[in-house]
Amino acid sequence: MHFLWTIGARSSTTSRFLLLKRLQSTQSTAKSSKSIFTYGKNGHYFRDQIDPNESKFSKILIANRGEIACRVIRTCKEMGIKTVAVHSDVDSNSLFVRMADEAVCIGPALAKQSYLREDIILDAVKKTGAEAVHPGYGFLSENTKFAKKLADHNVEFIGPSSKSIEAMGDKIHSKIIARKANISMIPGYDGEVKDEEECVRVSNDIGYPVMIKASAGGGGKGMRVAWNDKEARENFRLSKGEAASSFGDDRMLVEKFIDNPRHIEFQILGDKHGNIVYLNERECSIQRRNQKVIEEAPSVFLDPETRRKMGEEAVQLAHAVGYYSAGTVEFMVDSKRNFYFLEMNTRLQVEHPITEATTGIDIVHQMIRVAKGHKLKVKQQDIGIKGWAVECRVYAEDPYKAFGLPSIGRLTSYKDPSSIPNVRCDSGITEGSEISLYYDPLICKLTTFGDNRQAALATMAQALDSYVIRGVTNNISLLRDIITENRFVTGDISTKYLPQVYPDGFKGKQLKDDEREHLISLAACVAVKKAIRDGSFKQQRQTSKNTTPKDFSFEVAISDFKRKVRVTPVQKNGVAQFEIDIDGKQKTFIKDNFKLGDHVLNVEFDGQPSTMQLFKMDPTGNVTLIYLGTKYDLRVLPSRAAKYMKLMPAKKIIDHESVLISPMPGIVKSVSVKVGQRVADGQEVCVVEAMKMQNKLTAGRAGVVKFVGIKEGETVEDGKILIELE
């Protein structure tokens, strides 16, 4: 039986606990011979085995949502543990809710009214009889008060003790403890920074550049770099607002920013009997806005000795606070392999799958065992590095805007590449799911595994090429470009990688002429197949003779790159193919092995395989193909129609210096100008919050405000005109 509860309804006339029915078979039997995850068909398995004789919880509540809730539920099912999902009203039909044995609605969409409500979640624990709570990451996962409240009610928090969370989850206190434990440290201010002016004073004492960050933060939120007094004031204000929105805690700290470092973290795992091990490192240097985009394990940069020293310091710090469960100690590493303690995340980390892949240890399984009081079965000498794993975070974001501004919408078509060997997809969405502006825009954590880095990256390229996502903008084009970019492939990376490799922003895959001609050839073939299909349908209706021409002539263009193309359907060695003649100079053969309804096209150009996607086509002669992750719009016109294009009027161009358009959907947090006000070039005019990140929007030039189309608290769509200058 699958039960759906509602707790804390918004209307006072609604019962506090409303039981709704929903049937779903969720029985799962744990088998000692079965591992918890596999990486694709016939892929790499965990060596973690479930012991059916070991005591366990009977029911666990997951105080989170999305993919991490699904992740925890899967392990619980394998262990034979019943699960309870808590959710906001907009998440009521989400995958994690359907997967759980019971579901509890805890409030409206805003996190502070649902997923951050300790009292309502505690009520759900009592009502459902859950014996333990897994907090996932984010939300209440590092909230010491919540962990203590659960302990006071004899409910196990699947994570560290409230004392450890208080010591390490607070970045201000953690630095003091780390210094006493002789951990390598970044210079900084050991205390809370109260306001903008104190931030400026502390920043000058430390010396610019500085990192301004939330004490209770994580995931890149509430973090900004300042290079001068002006940026210190602005970034303190914006980061403080993000911290309050994301964590319910707006305390801030300031530390020295190490320019151009690597970001390398160590996974630790401890039990309640004093045993702590490190599960090696994760390289997390590919970031935008201090949020990780691609991670891998191990790091190409660490030698065995540095790995050992960093791992031992991570364990040393954990022992200093009596730590148990899973945790992550993060370090900044400079070009000489000097490392400095950055922070400790007292929770399960987003990127934990790559550690699971290279160690064979299911971290969620171990967290649940440790919470129940069992000892770790693995010793430090047992932990090696098996193969290589890479994780790409697939987001509903537009990578052409600041390397990724959020996108919202419904997934009209969705097929992940989990059928490919050595591929793992951690996702909380399915076809038809809604990506809303209230939560993190993560679609999937895509992990690939191989015997070495080259194999893992090759599988990642295949997986990204085969990943079908329609309905929302996504960042696959950026991910696909990075994993084949020379600096990344050679391991020459740092946290500055994105702005250094793409100084003018990401522009998509830059094609060579032969690649453009391949796209032009395939687009012409798509047009031919459509013409043949339409002609066949017309003949059936009119019972006329076959009027399909022997060949088809087009003018095909990608932007300003144009070619004249003749396509002739032929049989070559008994196989249906298209003979392509480009500008009368060369011939190419493309195998006719795809349908117009296929999303993924595994085509062959003169016998050479290539994977592309047919994104869309329309009656006006536009075909959109996806190649190497990037979308290309091609105009395919019959030769007779193409000569009339020069008579078409030019499209009007918007003056973006005078008109401020919202670059993303979001909520207006503040409006700094009014009609008639004179503004300077670059002056802040408003702040828009999207997925808990606050984005300052500025004037494109000096001038007088002519129009203000927004107000504080209003929800805006991507492309909405916000402010216009005279």
Reported as type and span, the H/E element at residue 558 is strand 552-558
Q: How many CA atoms lie within 13 A of 116 on its CB side?
A: 15
User: pLDDT band for position 621 (50/70/90)?
Assistant: confident
Q: What pLDDT shows up at residue 76?
A: 97
Got the DSSP string for 102-169?
Answer: EEEE-S-SSGGGTTT-HHHHHHHHHHHT-SEEE--SSTTTT-HHHHHHHHHTT-EESSS-HHHIIIII
**What's the pLDDT tens digit per position in 323-333?**
999 999 999 99
Give the CA dihedral 414, 415, 417, 419, nearest 10 degrees.
Answer: 160
- Residue scoring higher pLDDT (715 or 475): 475
Class of residue 227 by CB neighbours under 10 A (exposed 0-12, middle 13-18, buried 19+): middle
Neighbours of 207 (CB within 10 A): 10
Active site members: 347
Angle between helices 363-371 and 352-359 (to 10 degrees): 100
Relative to beta strand 291-297, strand 276-288 is antiparallel
Q: What pLDDT shows up at residue 257?
A: 85
**What's the pLDDT tens digit per position in 562-600?**
999 999 999 988 899 999 999 988 788 999 999 999 999
Cβ atoms of 377 and 366 closer than 8 Å: no
Q: In what order do the strands lie in the sheet with 82-87?
A: 17-22, 2-7, 102-105, 82-87, 59-62, 132-134, 156-157
User: pLDDT band for position 46 (50/70/90)?
Assistant: low
- Residue scoring higher pLDDT (692 or 313): 313
What six digits make up the tokens of 421? 């060997």
Whether the predicted pLDDT of 195 surpasses 80: yes
**Dmax over Cα atoms in the chain, in whole Å?**
90
What residues contact 480, with CB distance under 8 A and at least 6 apart?
461, 464, 465, 509, 628, 629, 630
Cβ atoms of 340 and 331 closer than 8 Å: yes
Closest CA to 285 of 270, 276, 277, 297: 297
Q: What pLDDT shows up at residue 223?
A: 86
Q: How far apart are CA 496 and CA 516, in angstroms?
A: 31
Q: What pLDDT shows up at residue 689?
A: 86
Got the DSSP string for 666-698?
Answer: EEEEEE---TT-EE-TT-EEEEEEETTEEEEEE
- Percent of the chain whose pLDDT exceeds 70: 91
The mean of the pLDDT values for the chain is: 88
Q: How far apart are CA 270 and CA 573, in angstroms?
A: 64
Closest CA to 101 of 84, 86, 76, 123: 84
Q: What pLDDT shows up at residue 12?
A: 31
Helix (H, G, I), strand (E, B) or coil at 700: coil
β-partners of residue 267 are: 328
Whether the predicted pLDDT of 316 surpasses 70: yes
Whether the predicted pLDDT of 502 surpasses 60: yes
User: pLDDT band for position 536 (50/70/90)?
Assistant: low
User: pLDDT band for position 648 (50/70/90)?
Assistant: confident
Closest CA to 453 of 515, 398, 390: 390
Poorest-pLDDT segment among 72-81, 311-320, 538-547, 674-683: 538-547
Whether the predicted pLDDT of 484 surpasses 60: yes
What six digits make up the tokens of 582? 């480009």
User: pLDDT band for position 690 (50/70/90)?
Assistant: confident
Q: How far apart are CA 722 and CA 711, in angstroms?
A: 9
Q: What pLDDT shows up at residue 237?
A: 92
**What's the pLDDT tens digit per position in 92-117?**
999 999 999 999 999 999 999 999 99
Neighbours of 70 (CB within 10 A): 23
What six digits make up the tokens of 151? 């302990």
Domains of the chain, CATH where assigned? 59-158 (3.40.50.20), 167-186+261-386 (3.30.470.20), 187-256 (3.30.1490.20), 387-505 (3.30.470.20), 513-535+549-646 (3.30.700.30), 659-725 (2.40.50.100)
- Highest mean predicted confidence (pLDDT) among 241-250, 258-267, 395-404, 449-458: 449-458
Helix (H, G, I), strand (E, B) or coil at 600: strand
**What's the pLDDT tens digit per position in 119-174?**
999 999 999 999 999 999 999 999 999 999 999 999 999 999 999 999 987 777 88
Got the DSSP string for 453-504?
Answer: HHHHHHHHHHHHHH-EEESS--SHHHHHHHTTSHHHHHT---TTHHHHH-TT
Mean per-residue pLDDT, 55-67: 98
Whether the predicted pLDDT of 723 surpasses 80: yes
User: pLDDT band for position 497 (50/70/90)?
Assistant: very high
User: pLDDT band for position 290 (50/70/90)?
Assistant: confident
Q: What pLDDT shows up at residue 259?
A: 76
Neighbours of 672 (CB within 10 A): 16
Whether the predicted pLDDT of 644 surpasses 90: no
